[in-house]
């Protein structure tokens, strides 16, 4: 029996080492070495041995991350040294003021800075004693926090033991990754529970739950950035980050050592562009004086360290008031409710409108005219209402009644049982015609420059245009009668319309406004069928067999070409001389940039970045926001920023603006 136990003891030791290794590779390094099923097999084997020999269970065993009974509350614990909050600034100009304050205190000294992403999560202090995780405490008020040790032990990127004796304290930020946040909100919505407004609220709510098994299911994560060994700090913040990583902790790989404030500012702008590409929420960057000796001499105020500051990104959430709710009718006839808002600054622009998506969304969130709401903007997407602040209601708010008829033409709306959107089914509805023309002429479709909303409205009101093909029969005399349309501007518009006749097939397919067919799908269809006629003849089954098309898109495309009015539209466009076939080197199958991934950085002198992106995609390439090992080319304009440095580190091919222009022209 003793031999069996000795073999079990040795096997459990080896299993623990192997599991910890694979947890580190998976959760810290994002570099899994085995499949999930293989990993699960190792864990189950260890659980079986520990169940058979309970005396072999150790506090740092991977099986002990979860298993404690729910607590009745959290004990309050004092921090060994205060966890100070940071002063904020909101522009590079204010950051220069921060450096000037530093130079007054330590003049004529060289300064280096460490820049770290400011994770919008929950501050945490974790104590290790003699190599084992002993205690975890929330930031709290900075002096005292809650003991949440059992919940923090569920975070798999956080080691349960480290190869260092004595007392080690690490500090960092707990957060909920975006996929976990989205899954959690879907589950709460399905259960009729209120959804979390953002990832930070979800992380804070999760870490304070009393049942650690529920916490484990939420898959929290953590980045670490501060290290104390027996109360002592490293010689620099950069060294602290390196030591944390060497000890097995997860640090943010986007942290950088900067030699001056110009590098800090450059990196700030670059990270601001990439923030929507991350799987965790960030609201700015933290800039720290690197040298620990300088930090000590700079000291702190009663609230903030003088050697660190947070430079915030433009806000993406704000509160405002709904003044009214209007209905917009889109090119597919979809009725979309839009809130008109009390204007508010968000992400550097003034927001006065927000989408409410559909009737069900209004009912689910109980949105009323007059409500105070929290709105959110992600990237260039139109803002959305996150939640209603019902405690601010005065009783004068009015419920919105969704119309049963189109507000533009009066036609009775139709809403299929399987869809959340009601639609106007009148193809001649002025709103549908207007939006269809605007989409057709848009930059990513037929790219008819100058044909914007104001001019389209004038063309419709004057009767010169009733449908899309009429654009190709406009006359100078009629255009010159319109407001702000003299001889030169009229000729410029006609030249743009003439040029659009020669656009490639994928642009025309996208411009038709077929439901579910975006730019990329249009390129795929053009590459596969090579002509509009072949596409129009395709059966739904043939369409569904194409990669990245699928049943929903296939049915939509087939339905579009079955409709007599759409057939008539194509006949008119053909008669107008538009290109209906793929020319050499066009289409997905033979596109010269097919399968190539580009990243754009810096300022391009020859064209806006959006135009460069559209050109790459029209040639089959893909444009992403951040540099990775999967990037094929980095196009570097002037003032390229940190993306250039990362591309050089990874050995990515670099293109100057001149080389890029030569590539796309070839």
Query: Active-site positions?
Result: 118
Q: Where are the alpha helices (DSSP H) in 77-192?
A: 92-105, 149-152, 178-190
Residue 518 phi, psi dihedral angles, 5° rounding: -90, -170
What dihedral do alpha carbons 68, 27, 39, 132 form, nearest 10°? Answer: -50
Question: What contacts 249, CB < 8 A, 6 or more positions away?
Answer: 28, 158, 159, 170, 172, 224
CA dist 54 to 42, 60, 99, 160, Å? 18, 14, 58, 19
- State both tokens at 99: 């450096």
Chain centroid offset of residue 134 CA? 36
> 383 burial class (0-12, 13-18, 19+ CB within 10 angstroms)?
buried
The answer to whether the beta carbons of residues 133 and 161 sit under 8 Å apart is yes
3-state secondary structure 237-254: HHHHHHHHHHCCCCCCCC
User: Of 137, 134, 136, 128, which is closest to residue 163 (Cα–Cα)?
Assistant: 128
Beta-bridge partner residues of 574: none
Distance between start and end Cα atoms, the chain: 77
Distance CA 148, CA 249 (A): 19
The answer to whether the beta carbons of residues 39 and 62 sit under 8 Å apart is no
Give the H or E element holding residue 318: strand 317-329
Distance CA 461, CA 483 (A): 12
Chain centroid offset of residue 495 CA? 38
Question: What contacts 152, CB < 8 A, 6 or more positions away?
Answer: 124, 126, 133, 136, 158, 174, 207, 222
The answer to whether the beta carbons of residues 604 and 580 sit under 8 Å apart is no
What dihedral do alpha carbons 230, 231, 235, 240 form, nearest 10°? Answer: 80
């Amino acid at each position: 029996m003793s031999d069996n136990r000795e073999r079990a003891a040795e096997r459990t030791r080896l299993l623990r080492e192997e599991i910890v290794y694979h947890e580190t590779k998976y959760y810290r390094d994002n570099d899994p070495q085995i499949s999930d099923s293989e990993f699960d097999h190792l864990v189950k084997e260890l659980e079986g041995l520990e169940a058979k020999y309970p005396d072999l269970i150790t506090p740092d065993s991977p099986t002990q991350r979860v298993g404690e009974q729910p607590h009745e509350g959290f004990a309050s614990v004092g921090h060994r040294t205060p966890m100070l909050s940071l002063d904020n600034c909101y522009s590079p100009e204010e950051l220069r003021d921060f450096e000037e304050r530093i130079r007054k205190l330590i003049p004529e000294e060289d300064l280096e800075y460490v820049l770290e992403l400011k994770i919008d999560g929950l501050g945490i202090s974790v104590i290790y004693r003699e190599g084992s995780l002993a205690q975890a405490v929330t930031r709290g008020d900075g002096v005292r926090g809650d003991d949440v040790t059992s919940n923090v032990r569920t975070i798999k990127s956080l080691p349960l033991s480290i190869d260092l004796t004595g007392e080690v304290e690490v500090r960092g930020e707990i957060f909920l990754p975006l996929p976990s946040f989205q899954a959690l909100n879907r589950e709460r919505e399905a259960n009729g529970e209120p959804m979390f407004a953002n990832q930070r609220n979800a992380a804070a709510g999760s870490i304070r739950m009393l049942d650690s098994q529920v916490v484990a299911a939420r898959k929290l994560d953590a980045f670490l950035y501060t290290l104390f060994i027996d109360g002592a700090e490293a010689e620099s913040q950069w060294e602290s980050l390196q030591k944390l990583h060497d000890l097995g902790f997860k640090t943010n790989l986007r942290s950088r050592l900067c030699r001056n404030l110009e590098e800090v500012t450059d990196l700030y702008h670059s990270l601001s562009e990439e923030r929507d590409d991350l799987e965790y929420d960030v609201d700015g960057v933290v800039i720290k004086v690197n040298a620990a000796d300088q930090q000590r001499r700079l000291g702190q105020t009663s609230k903030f360290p003088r050697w660190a500051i947070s430079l915030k990104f433009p806000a993406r959430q704000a509160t405002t008031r709904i003044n009214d709710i209007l209905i917009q009718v889109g090119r597919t006839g979809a009725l979309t409710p839009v809130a008109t808002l009390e204007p508010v600054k968000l992400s550097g622009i003034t927001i006065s409108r927000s989408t409410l998506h559909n009737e069900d969304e209004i009912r689910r969130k109980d949105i009323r005219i007059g409500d105070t709401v929290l709105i959110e903007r992600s990237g260039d997407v139109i803002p959305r209402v996150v939640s209603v602040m019902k405690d601010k209601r005065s009783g004068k708010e009015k419920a919105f009644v969704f119309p049963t008829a189109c507000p533009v033409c009066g036609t009775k709306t139709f809403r299929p049982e399987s869809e959340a959107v009601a639609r106007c089914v009148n193809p001649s509805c002025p709103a549908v015609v207007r939006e269809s023309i605007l989409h057709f002429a848009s930059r990513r479709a037929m790219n008819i420059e100058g044909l914007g909303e104001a001019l389209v409205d004038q063309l419709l009101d004057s009767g010169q245009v009733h449908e899309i093909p009429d654009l190709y029969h406009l006359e100078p005399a009629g255009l010159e009668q319109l407001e702000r349309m003299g001889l030169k501007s009229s000729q410029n518009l006609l030249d743009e319309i003439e040029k659009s006749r020669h656009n490639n097939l994928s642009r025309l397919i996208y411009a038709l406004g077929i439901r579910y067919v975006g730019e990329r799908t249009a390129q795929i269809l053009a590459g596969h069928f090579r002509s509009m006629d072949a596409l129009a003849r395709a059966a739904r089954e043939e369409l569904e067999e194409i990669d990245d098309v699928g049943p929903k898109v296939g049915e939509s495309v087939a339905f579009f070409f079955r409709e007599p009015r759409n057939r008539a539209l194509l006949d008119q466009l053909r008669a107008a001389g538009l290109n209906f076939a793929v020319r050499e080197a066009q289409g997905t199958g033979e596109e010269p940039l097919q399968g190539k991934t580009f990243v754009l950085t810096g300022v391009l002198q020859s064209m806006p970045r959006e135009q460069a992106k559209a050109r790459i995609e029209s040639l089959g390439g893909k444009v992403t926001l951040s540099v990775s090992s999967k990037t094929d080319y980095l196009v570097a304009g002037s003032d390229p920023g940190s993306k250039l440095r990362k591309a050089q580190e990874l050995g990515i091919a670099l293109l100057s603006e001149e080389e890029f222009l030569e590539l796309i022209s070839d």
